[in-house]
A = this chain, B = another copy of it.
Amino acid sequence: MQAELIFTGTELLLGEVLNTHAQYLGRQMAAYGIEVILHTTVGDNWDRLAQVLEAALKRADLIIITGGLGPTTDDLTKDTVARVLGLPMVVHEPTLQWLREFMTRRRAPLSESMARQAYFPAGAKVLPNPAGTAPGALLVHRGKVIILLPGPPRELKAMFEASVVPYLASLGNPGMVTRSRLLKVTGISESQVQELIGDLGGQGNPGIAYLAQPGEVHVRISARAADGAVAEQMITGLLEKVRERLAGYLFGMDDDVLEEVVGRLLAQKGLTCALAESCTGGLTAARLTSIPGSSAYFLGSIVAYDNRVKEKVLGVPAGTLQVHGAVSQQTAVAMAEGVRSLTGAHLGLSITGIAGPGGGTPAKPVGLTYIALATADGTSCREFHFPGHRQAVRQGAANAALNMIRLYLLARS
């Protein structure tokens, strides 16, 4: 089975938005053994979308179109598909009713533009939107399958997983399938990772690919075979070798995120943590609290951006700040112990550094960061030098801080 992906949105052509759908859907198609032969990105242009769709219908069996399902006048996808396939647009009553209730909850009337989201090409199977208001659609027309998905990435993924995955699975196994696993490491650079495991494989089948992320490196191991089980077997052997080599740095697999891994460990051990953040400015707390249920183990963070807050709230001695400076081991230790006693948390973690672009000196360059962890076993502090610009330093520092909690909890058990 051959597929084409069509991405709509002038914002994609203008480069205002990064197209992440191409990668997400590309991986999903590969996982289901569907060969994607072409991606096309077209603006919010009725005629051009129609031309692109007509051309795709000549080549592909499955066509996925993203974007243009919303309430506004530049949302043309459903009408264009209806026109190309020669189908009328008809109202889908359950969706209309759902939209009415949605707007009632928001104490607003159902506008005509909102109501447009309830109209679909005749014969379409309506795909509910678990993360937004615009439903998607699945059409089977003259043996071709056309799937319409919303543009916002969260909505697209939620709908794909809820409605499209079961459909693709029902198609059975049409050819070579790809399976892949993602290993996620932190505290090591991409080139260091390559030095550690480069000899185990590169492109090829099974293959190893590297993806550098802020503060992390993701290693992708993938294999293609006629059968999913065989592809998984091909991965397993290589996976174990890579795991061993990266053991000290590996924090998770596949969809794991570091803040969730740390949260699970804290919850398992019934421990609480609190933060004292300077250069990360709340970023570490924001990541920990992005996880549902984090209130079970996260008490709070003192974002002590100004030295007065370090002194007055965290009780860092004025002398320490004067003699050693805000970015010093001594201040980091005082911040960690300060927030631990202030909040009564089991773990007090502090981060103080120079995020840049300004504020660096030869003695204390941009990227220099001290991270201290205060626990019942005492207080430890580490010095880091994070490369890159302001956001990279902040992300690197947040990752290193979360990883310090992770390593402490693992060593403790």
Q: Which residues of A contact B (CB under 8 A)?
A: 7, 9-20, 22-30, 36-46, 48, 52, 55, 70-74, 76, 106-108, 111, 113-114, 131-132, 152, 154, 178, 180, 182, 190-195, 198, 202-203, 207-212, 218, 220, 222, 274-275, 277, 280-286, 288-290, 292-295, 298-306, 308-309, 312-313, 342-344, 356-358, 385, 387-392, 394
Contacts and interface: CB of A to CB of B under 8 A. Distances in A.
B305 A203 contact: no
A43 to B, nearest CB: 7
A40 B43 contact: no
Contact of A24 (B15, B28, B192, B357): B15
Contacts of A210: 70, 72, 74
Contact of A285 (B132, B154, B303): B303
Contact of A71 (B10, B19, B191, B300): B191
A344 B309 CA distance: 10
A78 B407 CA distance: 39
Given A131-B388, A203-B44, A283-B282, A19 B15 contact: no
Contacts of A308: 299, 343-344
A132 B212 CA distance: 11
B74 A202 contact: yes
Given A15-B26, A286-B282, A295-B305, A39 B41 contact: yes
12 contacts: A13-B36, A15-B24, A18-B18, A19-B23, A44-B203, A76-B203, A108-B192, A281-B298, A282-B289, A286-B286, A299-B308, A312-B343
Given A73-B194, A308-B344, A281 B290 contact: yes
A15 B30 contact: yes
Most buried by B among A15, A285, A305, A391: A15
B313 A305 contact: no
Given A26-B13, A220-B16, A299 B306 contact: yes
Contacts of A275: 303
Contact of A19 (B17, B22, B302, B312): B22
Given A106-B387, A220-B11, A190 B44 contact: no
Nearest to A217: B72
A74 B191 CA distance: 12
What are the 10 closest A-B residue pairs judged by CB atoms, nearest first? A281-B289, A15-B26, A282-B285, A282-B282, A73-B202, A15-B27, A39-B41, A301-B303, A300-B309, A299-B306
Most buried by B among A18, A27, A42: A18
A22 B14 CA distance: 9
A214 to B, nearest CB: 9
A22 B26 contact: no
Nearest to A304: B300
Contacts of A282: 277, 282-286, 289, 301, 303
A13 B39 contact: yes
A97 to B, nearest CB: 17
Given A114-B191, A194-B73, A300-B305, A212 B152 contact: yes
Contacts of A280: 286, 289
Most buried by B among A9, A306, A342: A306
